[in-house]
Structure formats: structure tokens, C-alpha cells
Structure 1
Amino acid sequence: IGLSEQTMQDYATDALVVEIYFDRPIQFNTLARTGEPTQLLIPIDGRHADGRYVFRGDKGEWWFGAIRMADPSALYDALQQMGYTADVFDGELTS
């Protein structure tokens, strides 16, 4: 799974995503190789939103492939408290 130009255009105009940027590379507590990303993109509403995906990247580029959040409920709760709405907040988490 990746982020095509069309997906990025949709995210810029018609979707809700969370983008997080870090000063230095982060590490994930996983056995899988996740690289050393300095940026994360999490789709909340729109394409890929129901998959609990987290896209990683570095220096303004997004990498192919995504990892999945085990439990995004804390993020969803925080976004709801800030006034955001999305279908994924009301639905059951997909596995």
C-alpha cells in the first residue's frame, strides 16, 4: 500500500489526515523493519482511513508500505475532543 499522487491530492482537499514531523528519526517497538522515519501520516477520513494505517517517510518523501496501529482509540478520542468528526470514530475497528 502506498500514497499515490491522487491519494495525496485527495488528502489535501477532501480528507482528514494527521501529519506528524520529528526533528530526528523515530523508532517503533516492533520486530519488523520500519526504517528511520522523521514524518508520519495517519489517514482519519478518506482513502485508507479504515485500515488503521500509519505511513512513514523522511525529508518530505513518503515511503511505500504502511504499518498498522494496534489501537488508534486514544488518537480518535483526542481528535473528537478537538471537534473533528469522521466515520471511523463511530465504526468498529477493522482488523
Structure 2
Amino acid sequence: MRSGQVCSNHRLRRAAAKAAADQGTDIVDLTVGEICADLAPTIRDGAMGAIRRGINRYTDPIGMMELREALARKVSGHTGPGLARR
């Protein structure tokens, strides 16, 4: 099934749930956003590479330290020095 078909089916299900809610039916929406386009090759390849390396679990609630530090360096380069790591 192509991504456009998946997205279209998802939209139909969401529309049916909204119509039922509009008629007074209690609906619990357990869906999340769905990308309606193919992933860029760099994102797809990066995700597959991470899975192969075993990086496929939930992260610490505060995020991955390596990513946080990289983002801090990037933001600090644009905004100036920030807060020190504790």
C-alpha cells in the first residue's frame, strides 16, 4: 500500500470519528499524526541504521545527552553562550 493510500484511509477514519462525536457519541481519539508523504532518504536511512545499531528504545524522558549537547552547541552558535550543564 502506498503512503498516499494509508494517509487517505487515516483521514476517512478520523472524519468518521469526528462525525460520530458531532452526533454526541463519546470518542476517545488514540491516534497520532501521520506523515502523508514518503520520508526523505536521509531520514529513512538514518532510522534504519539506528535500528541496526540497537538504538530503538524509548529515550530518557529528558532526552539523549548526545543530542541535547549537539543542539545546545548549535543554538549557542546563533544566540550566544547559554546555561552550563549540571
TM-score interval, smaller chain = under 0.3
Higher normalized strand content (fraction of residues)? 1
Structure with the greater alpha carbon radius of gyration: 2
Instruction: Give the TM-score, by structure 2 length.
Output: 0.26
Q: TM-score with structure 1 length normalisation? A: 0.24
